[in-house]
């Protein structure tokens, strides 16, 4: 009787293990496919000059490419930093400036995936933003230099305020770990560098104080 029970328990454990492995493989494949489709949509947007959703039912589209050369970081930025959209990549906060417009361009990303590399960023690092300018039908690029890195509480939205000067603000949750708790925010502020090839959120941060990036 005991041997039969042991065999049953072992068989059940193997079945559960196989199910978990299969689910992990499925989620990984889904993420890989989503990433491929997003990059494909960005390339198509650059070629055609039109906003191209990565899949027919998507409520977002690529708006920029974000690079941090020293870290080897290269990701496509989506439009609208909602919880659903952030699952697929870093995204622009609608409360900030638009691409190519003066002001504070704000981009959010998850601390465990898209913006995990921000843990390694330093002041003085270069950040490059590339976007398609529909007004003159050209691909534009702007270089930024990191000037400040801060860990703040969610209610501290000073770095998400509109700015008279152009700025780039990247934000994610903190600390960088897989802990379910991330009570603070990690904010990177960058300003346009001198070698630019072209010239030129209060409610979000407060409302998402209990959510995780």
Q: Name the one residue in this structure whose structure tokens are 């691909």.
A: 139
What values do phi and psi take at 168, rounded to 5?
-125, 125
pTM: 0.81
Render pLDDT for 66-123 as a digit per residue (tens, 0 to 9). 999 999 999 999 999 899 999 999 999 999 999 989 999 999 999 999 999 999 999 9
Alpha-carbon radius of gyration of the chain: 20
Measured from the Cβ of residue 194, the count of other Cβ atoms closer than 10 Å reads 6
**What's the average model confidence in pLDDT over 144-162?**
94
For domain 27-207, which CATH number applies: 3.90.550.10, 3.30.2350.10, 2.40.260.10, 3.60.9.10?
Answer: 2.40.260.10
User: Residue 118 and residue 208: Cα distance in Å, rounded?
Assistant: 19
Which helix (H) or strand (E) segment is 126 a member of? strand 126-133
**Which residues make Cβ contacts (< 8 Å) with residue 176, sequence separation at least 6?**
111, 112, 116, 118, 119, 186
């Amino acid at each position: 009787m005991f041997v039969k029970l042991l065999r049953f328990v072992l068989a059940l454990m193997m079945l559960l293990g196989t199910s978990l492995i299969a689910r992990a493989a499925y989620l990984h494949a889904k993420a890989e496919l989503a990433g491929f489709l997003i990059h494909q949509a960005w390339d198509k947007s650059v070629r055609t000059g039109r906003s191209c959703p990565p899949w027919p039912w998507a409520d977002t589209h690529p708006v920029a490419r974000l690079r941090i050369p020293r870290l080897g970081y290269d990701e496509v930025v989506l439009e609208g930093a909602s919880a659903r959209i952030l699952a697929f990549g870093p995204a622009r906060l609608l409360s900030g400036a638009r691409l190519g417009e003066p002001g504070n361009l704000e981009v959010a990303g998850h601390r465990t995936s898209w913006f995990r590399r921000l843990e390694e960023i330093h002041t003085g690092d270069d950040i490059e933003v590339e976007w398609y300018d529909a007004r003159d039908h050209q691909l534009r690029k702007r270089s930024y230099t990191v000037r400040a890195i801060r860990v703040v509480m969610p209610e501290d939205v000073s770095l998400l305020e509109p700015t008279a000067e152009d700025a780039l603000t990247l934000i994610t949750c903190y600390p960088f770990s897989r802990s379910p708790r991330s009570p603070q925010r990690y904010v990177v502020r960058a300003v346009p560098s001198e070698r630019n090839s072209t010239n030129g959120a209060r409610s979000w941060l407060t409302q998402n104080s209990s959510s995780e990036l």
